[in-house]
Structure formats: C-alpha cells, structure tokens
Structure 1
C-alpha cells in the first residue's frame, strides 16, 4: 500500500489533473517563466552582440590595432632547424639533402615565371632606393602591387645553376630575410656609433645592412670569407612597407644569400648575423630579434 501512495504522489506531481498543473505549475505560470527567461537571455545576447560589434568598429581590417608585443623585426634564415644548427658530411649527400630541399622549396615562389603578371608585380630596380609608397592602409587604392625579386640576384646561391647551393663543395649558402610586419619601415643607421667597425663599410643609403661574424672569440679566423648576395648585400627600402595579406597578397620579401666560402672543416663554428638600423633593437630573450646565431659544422671524414 505505501508503494501505491508513493506512485500516486509522483504521478500527481508530474500531472495534477484536478488543478491542471504540470510539475507543480499551471500553464499560465509556465508561460510567464518561459517569457521571463526569453527576455532575460535575449537581453544578455543583445549586450554580448552589441559589445562585440562595438569592438569590431575599433579594429582595422588591414593593420593590428596593437603591435606592442612585437619587437620589430625578426631576422630568420633558411634552412632552419630546431637547434639552429647546420651539420653535414661532404662525402654523404643524404646529410645535406634536407638543407638543399628546404632552400629549393623556399625559393620556388621567387621563380621568374611566378612574377610575370603585370597587374600584380612591378620592377623596383636592382639598386637600393627609397620606400615605395603605395598609399595609406585605409585608402581606397585596394590591392597593391609587389616588387619583383629575381632569384638571379642571389648569384651562386640562387639554386639555378648549382642545385646543391654550395653544400657539395663545402661552401654552403643560407638565405636570410626580415620577417614581415605590417606598415613597418626599417630605418637605415644614421651613424656608426652602434655598429662594429668591421661592419661599417656595409652602411649605405636606402639599405638595411646585414653583417655576420664569429660568435665566439676562439672561432676568430676559422670562419673565412662570407659572401653576401642580393641587392647591395642587405635589405633595400623600396620593398617596404608591407601592406598585409589583404592588400599585399603577392608580396615578396627581399632576400640576402650568405655563402660561407672557407669554413674550417671538422669544427663546430658559431656564427652570428645582425641587421643594423635606427629602429632595430635586440633582445637577450629573443635570439631572432634583429639577429640570429647558428652553428655550422662541415665534416670531411
């Protein structure tokens, strides 16, 4: 008998036919509470959507609103490994094959046949020139043309004649670039005060100079000659500023090819490369901010 009463109590709670209540509430009570939550959550959704819309009105489609977390510019190289190390054996093609493949893949977009479209590319000269002004970011100019950069400018490091980029002969190449930053205009150094004496001859108008040397004192004299291939061995200003992916989809960064022509064999060498400019800084916390260092070891045994 008690179980029957309990069963009847649950059934009555679910639906009370005498009072017309479902789960203890009448139809009118359910309608009022449903209406309340519809209005309540509708207002919350309206506030949320309004806040997002107000935020979007303050953002530009073409340039990040805040760039204070990006310390310009980053300097990177190809080929690149996790340990910033290039090591190979002259007598074993397999040891340097990944490096040459990385260089070929990277330079593929710089092939001349990919830069022939007159609507997307223009010639900007093979000598350093001033910034190429293509209008403001927010102007109605639309998509901007990109400067051509021919692989032939990289000389023996272009991969056109030497598919091994010097690795086979113990004269490896590195391709160096400045990372893209929207609307950033690198400024060449105006004085030699902060530039090492050996790098001062590379300073010239309208180009950001690049200079590499031994990182460790004990490696002095073991690096040999480093050849710089590109436009004046640096980063010419006519390739700046960069207008972003929407306005500058075909943009090609200027490149500098480094060729190490006389490295001491069977020795681990630490090499540091830096770019110099009035608005280029370095950080001990970021080894690629305005510079990088790399270990190179060529084995012949």
Structure 2
C-alpha cells in the first residue's frame, strides 16, 4: 500500500464513528438492538445456570456432606485415631519445651505465669456463660465418675474451676514460679466420642497420669518426696494425677473445657536440668510408644537460683 492509498486521520475517525453507530444499518458496536438483546439474554441465562450450579454444589458440600457438629472422620478413620495425646502449659515458645525458672529473670517469670493465666482465663470465660442455650452445667462429682451418669452429655457438661481443680497451682500464688516450686499443667487432647476403657476399676475408675524422669538415672533430680498432682490420687503407694471419667466423652459441646491435671515440683533440685515425661495409665484404649513419643508429653525443667539444693 502506497502512501496515497493510506487512510487519512479523518477517514479513520469516520470509520470508528460508523463502528460505534451505523445509521444506515441501524447497528451499535456492530450489532443491532435485537442482536444485543438476544446475546444479553443468552449470557444472563448462561451465567445464572453456572451460579445456580455452584451454589447447589456448595450447599450439598456444606449441608449434605459436612456436619458442623462433629468431624467428618471419627474413630480409627480420623488422623489422630482414638489414641489420646497429651500437651503441656506453660509453653511460651512453640519451638522449645524447656521451662526455665530463673528467680533473677522477672521478665521470663512473668511470661511463664502469663501463659498459664491465659489458660485460666479461657476456662473462666467459658464458665461465665454458655454459647449454646440448650446446654447447661452439671454439678459433677469429679472424684466419682459413676455419680454423674444420670445426665446426657449432649445437654450437660461438667464445670471446671481451675482455682479449685488445680489445688495450690493458682494465679494468686503465681503457680509456684516465684517460689521456685513451679506447676506444669498437663492437658489431654480432645478426641470426638472417645471414652476411657478403664483397665482396673478396683484401682481407680479414672484415667491415671504420672510424670517421671526421662531416664531412670535421673530420679534423684526430682528431689525428696513425690510430685504433687491436682487432682491426684494414691494407688498402691504411688501418686498419680487423674483425668476424671466424668469429663468424657467430648461431643463438640459448646462450653466444653479440656481435661487438665496440675503437676507441682516442690523439691526438685536447683541448677540441674530435669527431663520429664508424662503418660497415661489404667486405660486399655491407649497406645504408648516412648521411641515415637506417642501418647506422652515430654518437657525439660530448669530451676535456677542462687542457692543450690
């Protein structure tokens, strides 16, 4: 194409104007009003069908398949299966399990106590009011689980008051950290529908829990006397903490609080690293593997002060 045949600027503007609106053909942007109406109706129907299909599939997923009251996979089909695990507090650092109790480091003590206060506050906020109006608190006897079998766990749950449940491990006395007799709270993981199968009801009708040195040669580091458990029980001369059977099963009840046991170290040796492991006893439906750390919790405790014991 020579420069003589090249359209001028005016011709280009005129062609653009005819594309926008052609009076001779009665078109706007290349289509007649009837054509625009037909294509608009087509896309309205097309995208309405797509939206309806999406909403329908989402409704089937949310209301037909997923039950918001319980996990989709329960029992042995769930990821954690039916083996209860244990956790611990305080745990201000998620990457470490060392609890360093240093009397000269007030900032660290405040952080440890604050971590436990958060746990207490979570119980207190639940105890004040229940989110589900169909649920109510029962006056449970945590020592005698059989005394609480007269209520439906889907309608009533046991109230846990840390100030009474954890003995001397309370916020008022800083959970023993300022007096170098620290408390560690052991928590049992919530498993939907799990009930403890008590191994020997003659010993106890609860799930027992005990903390011991990681290595047998470290027993001397625990100091004289036993650890203190709240709530606790003595079975055949051995002290245990216990998770009351009255607190099970967990059925996703609104207001349900995680079972806990407070462990206090009143006479642990100072300036020595204590390697502690805690596990469950007296239940059949529980797997414990020290190598894989299955069914247990492990932490280190270091109590530092100016006077060694």
User: Could you say which residue in structure 2 is the equivalent of 1:95?
Assistant: 108
Secondary structure of the residue aligned to 1:221 is helix
Q: How far is the alpha carbon of 1:297 from its aligned partner?
A: 0.6
Secondary structure of the residue aligned to 1:49 is helix
Of 237, 252, 255 in structure 1, the residue corresponding to residue 245 of structure 2 is 237
1:228 maps onto 2:240 in alignment: no
Determine if contact 2:127/2:159 at 8 Å carries over to the other structure: no
User: Could you say which residue in structure 2 is the equivalent of 1:183?
Assistant: 193
Q: Distance in 1 between matches of 2:24 and 2:119?
A: 80
149-158 vs 77-86, which deviates more?
Answer: 149-158
User: Could you say which residue in structure 2 is the equivalent of 1:11?
Assistant: 17
User: Could you say which residue in structure 2 is the equivalent of 1:200?
Assistant: none
1:149-200 CA-to-partner distances (Å, cap 9, x unmatched) read 343232222345xx12222332211112212333332333469xxxxxxxxx
User: Could you say which residue in structure 1 is the equivalent of 2:169?
Assistant: 157
Q: Distance in 2 between matches of 1:120 and 1:136?
A: 10
Q: Distance in 2 between matches of 1:267 and 1:235?
A: 30
Of 125, 130, 140 in structure 2, the residue corresponding to residue 124 of structure 1 is 140
1:106 maps onto 2:129 in alignment: no
Query: Matched residue pairs, number?
Result: 276
1:1-301 superposed matches below 5 A: 2-55=8-61, 56-67=63-74, 68-71=78-81, 72-81=83-92, 82=94, 83-108=96-121, 114=127, 120-130=136-146, 132=149, 134-135=151-152, 144-150=155-161, 151-159=163-171, 163-189=173-199, 204-216=203-215, 219-224=218-223, 225-230=226-231, 232=233, 233-244=241-252, 248-276=253-281, 277-281=283-287, 290-301=295-306
Q: Distance in 2 between matches of 1:69 and 1:249?
A: 23
Flag structure 2 segments of 5+ consecutive residues without an equivalent. Answer: 1-6, 234-240
TM-score with structure 2 length normalisation?
0.77
Greater relative contact order: 1 or 2 (C-alpha under 8 angstroms, separation 6 or more)? 1
Flag structure 1 segments of 5+ consecutive residues without an equivalent. Answer: 138-143, 192-202
Secondary structure of the residue aligned to 2:168 is helix
Structure with bigger gyration radius: 2
Q: How far is the alpha carbon of 1:86 from its aligned partner?
A: 0.8
Q: Distance in 1 between matches of 2:292 and 2:41?
A: 56
